[in-house]
Amino acid sequence: MFLYRLVFAVVFGHPRQENSKPEERAAAQRQASILYERHRQQAIRMNELAAHISSEADARAFVDAVADMFADSLPPSWATRGIRERIAHAEYEAVSDPLRQVPEQRIADVWNKYVREIGGSEEAVVTAAEIHSMRDATFAVGQVLRSRTNQT
């Protein structure tokens, strides 16, 4: 019975937008297509930058490109210059020496400290194993998407 209610809610729950004009729908589709292409090009550029880090300057270019992507959500670049340089240095070290990568336990410890400082619930506390599972899942999804979109 629950399944029938769920199907009914999905099919009939949201009003259809058949009232919009074909020109408006076409304009919205064009805008969505332009936005999608812009994001796709940014993702390709980011992948290229990340794949070719061979110096701290390359790492800095990668970090700056990531920050530019999220510029509307971040403080101004002059305010984040120091942290960007530290992140770029860490990126370069992780690429040039895998032993310099940040351990998952350290990530979990820092996150948990943050959760406790802001008074978050204990449900937000994570373990190193959970961090590993999330990173592994992200990697697996990335591999599948890359294989389907013919990107490196």
pLDDT tens by residue, 28-80: 888 888 988 888 888 888 888 988 999 999 999 999 998 988 888 888 888 98
pLDDT at 8 over 60: no
- The tokens for 142 are 């990335």
CB hemisphere CA count around 70 (13 angstroms):
10
**Mean of all residue pLDDT scores within the chain:** 84
Mean pLDDT lowest among 9-13, 35-39, 52-56, 126-130: 9-13
- Residue ranges per domain, the chain? 42-101, 103-152
Predicted pLDDT of residue 1: 45
Show the CA angle centred on residue 141, arms to residues 136 and 147, nearest 5°. Answer: 125
Q: Are 104 and 131 in contact (CB under 8 A)?
A: yes
Higher pLDDT, 81 or 3: 81
